[in-house]
Amino acid sequence: MSNKRVFYFYNPEVGNFHYGPAHPMKPHRLSVIHSLVLNYGLYNKMQIYRPYRASAHDMCRFHHDEYIEFLQRVTPQNLTTYSKYLNHFNVGEDCPVFEGLYDFCSMYTGASLDGAMKLNKNCCDIAINWSGGLHHAKKFEASGFCYVNDIVIAILELLKYHPRVLYIDIDVHHGDGVQEAFYLTDRVMTVSFHKYGNWFFPGTGDMYEIGADLGRYYSVNVPLKEGIDDFSYSQVFKPVIQHVMDLYQPTAIVLQCGADSLNGDRLGCFNLSTKGHGECVKFIKDLNVPLLTVGGGGYTLRNVARCWTYETSLLIDEEISNIIPEHEYRDYFAPDFLLHPEVVTRQDNANSKQYLELIVKHTYDNLKMVQHSPSVQIQNVPGDALPTEEMNAIALDETDPDVRQPQIELDRRVDAANEFYDDDKDQDFDETR
């Protein structure tokens, strides 16, 4: 069992949203992952929290207030009224307006923000929010299925306590929204491993994008070609990250675990297995730095669920069976019902050994230019984003006495260790608990 304190943030409503029948993004994947986490018994090794829901004020710490106000007001029913704003905020086909859009953003953003604050307060060593990781959203607009950039907002919270934050992105798509947000600062180093070239979305992430002004050399991009496998990926990922750690010495890490870099993804083009993808997560966990782990892309639902369930087990150091347990979504994993299915290669690995060595060398050369562990002047620490216990107490006093369980009380609830059961004896009293 892990000696690390792991907090897992999950809102049971977050998997109920729907981008549209033909849209590749399926929030329902989050319900499937949570069901697997419960049925594998992983809840026994970590604390499960119903997370905070982000307010418009929280989102406006990065996004423009007019954009957030638009997200609050627009609905499928009033699209005609707001039609002139759709192009302005890049809302449409890729980023559609769906029922409950703002609530969805509030839930996944609040979970990342809650995780960041728990890390700041040293309540946990690892915070997990699989609903987050929407790394394409920009300050003024939506992009690539992403509306609010929960990662940027969480990093801004971490920077209140941490002098240097490292952001690592293993999504098949470049983490452009996060890179853009911190392109001019040395307080955050962004490292993205992604497919680049042939007009692959979002079209950014060249190895020569290195940051500017104070942030020069603090943006690290590892552009990869299609078909990369576990071995090749590891040969690049581990040396680059180790060199970053040695030179930058971050005091907190945010890891975006986009599962569209897996073999067989609907939109991806890599050949990573769940174990190869998970090896990156294990490598980061073993660095023993406070870690916020978030989701991201992933458009073959059963593979996303396999991957993030497996990575949850890695983060708590718990071995789990390769046989998917009985649960309500088990039919999704037919016909093999395996956590680690065989990798069926759709395309050859276009990443030659020489090409990968060139990328690693280029990265090393740029990192040598980094000022070793940039320091931060002493300053007052801004207030926490989330309400303090005193404010919560006041809020509870002001709640409607006719409401049996106020929402603030539900949101603060931590699921007890015996909240979920392993077998049919769910009514039996267990004296050992």
Active site residue ranges:
136
Three-state helix/strand/coil letters over the chain: CCCCCEEEECCCCHHHCCCCCCCCCCCCHHHHHHHHHHHCCHHHHCEEECCCCCCHHHHCCCCCHHHHHHHHHCCHHHCCCCHHHHCCCCCCCCCCCCCCHHHHHHHHHHHHHHHHHHHHCCCCCEEEECCCCCCCCCCCCCECCECCCHHHHHHHHHCCCCCCEEEEECCCCCCHHHHHHCCCCCCEEEEEEEECCCCCCCCCCCCCCCCCHHHCCCEEEEEECCCCCHHHHHHHHHHHHHHHHHHHCCCEEEEECCHHHECCCCCCCCCECHHHHHHHHHHHHCCCCCEEEECCCCCCHHHHHHHHHHHHHHHCCCCCCCECCCCCCHHHHCCCCECCCCCCCCCCCCCCHHHHHHHHHHHHHHHCCCCCCCCCCCCCCCCCCCCCHHHHHHHHHCCCCCCCCCHHHHHCCECCCCCCCCCCCCCCCCCCC
* End-to-end Cα, the chain, rounded Å: 18
Residue with tokens 């798509």: 173
Rounded to whole angstroms, the Cα distance separating 327 from 312 reads: 17
Q: Which tokens sit at 386? A: 């989330």
Gap between the Cα atoms of 91 and 231, Å rounded: 39
194 known ligand binder: no
94 labeled binding residue:
yes
Q: Is 260 annotated as a binding residue?
A: yes
Is 299 among the annotated ligand-binding positions?
Answer: yes
Annotated binding site: 94, 144, 171, 173, 260, 299
Give binding residues for a divalent metal cation as ranges.
171, 173, 260
Residues marked as binding for substrate? 94, 144, 299
